[in-house]
Amino acid sequence: MNLVIVDDEAIVRHGIRYSVSWPDLQVDRIEEAANGREVLDRFGEWQPDLIITDIIMPVMDGIELIRQVKARKPSCRFIVLSCADDFEYVKEALLLGASDYLLKMTIRPEDLKVCVNNVVSRIRQETAKRCLPANDRYKAENFFNDLLTHAYTPEQIREAVGMYGLRSSFLRFSIAVMQVNLTEALQRYGEDEGWLVGFALVNALQEMAERWGDLDFFRIENDEYALVMDCLPGESLADYEARLIRRLDEIARDIRIYLKFEVRFGFSAVCCGIERLPRHYREAKKAAELHLFRRDNRPIHSRELTKAPYEGKDPSLIALFDGRYRQSLTHAIAYGKEEEALQTIDEHFALLREDRCSFRTAVVCIDKAAALMDVCAMEMNSHPGTEETGPAEEFGSRPFNLYWSVDRTKERLKQYCRYLIRLKEQLMAKGSHKIIMQIQSYLAANYASKITLEQTAKHFHLNKNYLSQLFKLETGVNFTRYLNSVRVEKAMELMMHSSDSIAEIAEKTGFGDFRYFSRVFKRHTQLSPTEFKQAMSDKRQAP
């Protein structure tokens, strides 16, 4: 337990500090302050459970200190020190929630010890009441989940609140949805240790809820928790929202520091009445989902949903990822154009903005982008050279939450594209020359058959697109042009050494169509087949 002693006289502070054996009273940490302002300035660091404070002090007196601390941490206890003529102040302090008081001028160590011991006992009792056993926590979470789908009477709610020792009255409150980066958490704790992540989270939330005394939490899914916090009587909406945001920021910070993974929050407007809980929960969850588009991790109020587009899917944006994105990126990776690949990703992911598309649309587009990476890897693995280098690593082989941040997902995709292009360069350097020589021999032996790029790729267990660009890189001409040049060479031999007609030669060299044969032949030799045959005939007859 943490204790702060507040008095503007150092001798009084020291007298209290050293007149009692604090460890016997389960006090672990003791801090001192000369006025209320010093306590508030270091409140986050000290996190007091008990404050012993004078009433009359400069800068900030004890009355204002009690008021300010109760707004931040309602569970914090106070013992006030007073003079004989301070009774009106003591009454005000007790009305604000002070637990007890001591007369400053006649205080004895044994009186202080008894007073502190009584307050500490009350703190322990309340903490024990609020600390739900595992079975009760399960029941409380079932109760909360039922609240999201079923109507309860105020009497039933009050009964459940008392039964489970909940802090919230569910009369005037906000609900926050905490989303957990479970992929990151499992990477730290182990894929089979999901229960350990949940256990660590519940313990952390339980400790913070007990420390503050103004928060309830419920697990909805393994990666989603709901938090409920009441407005205090007389608390303005601005002060309440500021207090709630402080709580959420502290939770996110502590989980990041101690558990080493991320959480993010969306929270609702103040809800006046339990019947509005389901709607406010849905709004808080949608607000949390907006973090996909954000770069900072501050909690998002549901009022910001008014800036977002409709909730459904945008067919035009999805079609863009299904069409132009897929074609441009596939082409860039196939031909090793890294700059073009990265630019394609940047341009399309720039469209996944909070003011442009819904969370659902962004998820569909991200799924399509990830699936395309798997397709590109499969095509890469069809290359024979992977027998030496090993297959390409799958895009999803390393744990990564695609839906946590658009910017992070974009960078992950760009990183993987660079990896594929580097791997492609290695594969081509190792085996491209050998495979192209085999294909050239195959074409020389089978030119008369109806050979196509697709059929040749299948014969050599290659991807058609990959073979096309590899063949061009190795030979300097595309596949069809090379095949036609082989066929024209064979046709020229037949014209010189046989009496076959031009139509028969076209058939024997795999062209089939006479007119197509004539066009290709003239493109290669600058002569038509008839002109070439006549020239060869004249040459043979010449003396």
| 157-197 confidence digits (pLDDT tens) | 777 777 777 888 788 899 999 999 988 888 877 766 677 88
Q: Which two tokens stand for residue 230?
A: 């009441």
Under the banding of pLDDT at 50, 70 and 90, the label for residue 130 is very low
Q: DSSP character for 525?
A: H
Q: What is the pLDDT of residue 540?
A: 63
Task: Give the DSSP letter string of 207-241.
Answer: HHHHHHSS-EEEEEETTEEEEEEEPPTT--HHHHH
Q: What is the pLDDT of residue 128?
A: 46
Q: CA quadruple 293, 299, 305, 311: dihedral positive or negative?
A: positive
pLDDT digits (tens, 9 = 90+) for 488-501: 889 888 888 888 88
Q: Which two tokens stand for residue 529?
A: 């087949």
Instruction: Record the pTM.
Output: 0.60
pLDDT digits (tens, 9 = 90+) for 424-449: 877 766 666 678 888 889 998 998 88
Distance (Å, whole) CA 136 – CA 216: 13
Is 419:393 a contact under the CB 8 Å cutoff?
yes
Please state whether beta strands 172-180 and 263-267 pair in parallel, antiparallel, or not at all (unpaired).
antiparallel
Residue predicted with more confidence, 120 or 248: 248
Distance (Å, whole) CA 463 – CA 470: 10
DSSP lists the bridge partners of residue 226 as: 177, 218
**For the chain, which domains are there?**
2-128 (3.40.50.2300), 134-307 (3.30.70.270), 315-430 (no CATH), 431-541 (1.10.10.60)
Residue predicted with more confidence, 19 or 106: 19
Q: What is the pLDDT of residue 429?
A: 67
